[in-house]
Structure 1
């Protein structure tokens, strides 16, 4: 079936006039008449008959106009769907975050996004850096918001820094080194509470120890979440090595205390990660724009 000719017929039928249809479509009346006549001949039907100075729909013309209306309503609905999707106003955004970003940064950012685009769905999965990158490159996530360890995967993903913060050693206020300045050798003899292998902070601390030529500390408690490691430190056991974003408020109110290690001043980069050499969806672009506006 010639859908172009069907559309011309439908617009004529809807307006009851070839003249009005020609004005709306900005094509000549003879062109419309020719296309409709060809459509009639191809299908062996008559759609219009003369009526005075105008036209009247035949029985099949009336029935076809009703069915054509459903087709073009559905077409308009699909066009609207595509338009709203390409504008990032609908759809599902799948975000992979590490424990730091999922707990301390993403809740605020996705709330801003949802306020602007209320019809979107947002799914956040909390993973360590290794797992989050795998989730991204395997298309289980659309975007990842991670710590600096993601830069190690720059051959697989595009990484853009958005903010940077300090990395602190912290402990309970009653720890013997709380609020004191110590050497790296001294603090590495203490018991540590850390995330699982594959987490960025654990890998970074191991790199620091290797560079300094000293042994990695005893990890006496290991958890799969940042919140759990901090809770254990607050309970009075062990030292944590983590982003200041996670502990600054706890230090300020005295629940945790900093330990100052000589000549150790590392920064934690928070980065946006997307798949390499891939066009970003508008929804991803909208989310990145919100992050950038919130971190200016």
Structure 2
């Protein structure tokens, strides 16, 4: 048994496909099949059931795949530790992030990090906060970025970004010419919001509840482009992250309506499993993320229209 055989087996088990695993590992399919067959011979048990192009784990395979994953993670962390001794951030940094961070924040950060450390490669997963936290707990990544502090004994978390939820309308909306609005004026207005359970939705629901406002939601969606399109077409008032509407505001497709009496903030957290090695690559990412925090805030031309004070909702 060797690490290469375990790696091939692990990738086949994860993909449930020899073809997909071989492509990922830059092997031919027969070579991948041969490696798994040799591993089965060494172990003396059948690890995979083959059914056409699909494969599934036997009971013995389910036991081994867990150990294989742990061994491969340890091998990678060993390589990273040795690279650290040479003083060079290098290797593959595995990052899971929420949709907003992945679409609007992470690309620029990673481009800058790669320019500074060209020996780094990145593997990026995108999902909701629950998925990010789950993957981090399972040690399937080096870093997770989610939209609330998970408060878990196995995780360490630090706030790296504060975002604003802002109200926007299309140019034809009755409120389009207004310079601001009170939060209470949302009562009775058709609202376009993120889906139930999302961190932005939990934040705005909490704020509305505190002000005794029952939201009249006419559209809710997990798709930010859909929400922006409905708002641009005058269907209602959308409440979204300032990051995702910055371009539409600059292009005149949407109009900003700052709240007179509230500044609706929510926070993103960088999370790590406490048992994972904090490599130089991870440290370099954290330093770059902190440097990028100010760059990710609202453009100056829009910040000047925000109210100077207001309330900050409880962390979600």
On whether the aligned pair clears a TM of 0.5, the verdict is yes
Distance 1:168 1:114, change over 3 A: same
Alignment counterpart, residue 178 of structure 1, candidates 176, 179, 189: 176
1:242-253 correspondence runs (5 A): 242-253=240-251
1:109-258 correspondence runs (5 A): 109-147=109-147, 150-151=148-149, 153-156=150-153, 157-180=155-178, 181-218=180-217, 220-258=218-256
- What is the CA–CA distance in structure 2 between the aligned matches of 1:260 and 1:293, rounded to whole Å? 27
- What is the CA–CA distance in structure 2 between the aligned matches of 1:81 and 1:188, rounded to whole Å? 54
Q: Deviations over 1:244-278 (max 9, x none)?
A: 22223322331111123342212233332222465
Distance 1:273 1:88, change over 3 A: farther
Structure 1 length as normaliser, TM-score?
0.63
- What is the CA–CA distance in structure 2 between the aligned matches of 1:193 and 1:80, rounded to whole Å? 48
- What is the CA–CA distance in structure 2 between the aligned matches of 1:263 and 1:201, rounded to whole Å? 19
* 1:76 counterpart residue number: none
In the comparison of the two structures, how many residue pairs are matched?
214
- What is the CA–CA distance in structure 2 between the aligned matches of 1:112 and 1:260, rounded to whole Å? 32
- What is the CA–CA distance in structure 2 between the aligned matches of 1:208 and 1:273, rounded to whole Å? 26
Structure 2 regions of 5+ residues with no counterpart? 1-77, 295-316
Answer whether contact 2:109 2:289 (CA < 8 A) is retained.
Answer: yes
What SS does structure 1 have at the residue aligned with 2:258? strand
Structure 1 regions of 5+ residues with no counterpart? 1-78
Cα offset, 1:161, TM superposition:
2.2
* 2:9 counterpart residue number: none
* 1:92 counterpart residue number: 92
Larger radius of gyration: 1
Answer whether contact 1:130 1:199 (CA < 8 A) is retained.
Answer: no
Cα offset, 1:98, TM superposition:
1.6
Answer whether contact 2:93 2:282 (CA < 8 A) is retained.
Answer: yes
Structure 2 length as normaliser, TM-score?
0.59
- What is the CA–CA distance in structure 2 between the aligned matches of 1:129 and 1:120, rounded to whole Å? 25
1:16-165 correspondence runs (5 A): 83-84=82-83, 87=87, 89-147=89-147, 150-151=148-149, 153-156=150-153, 157-165=155-163
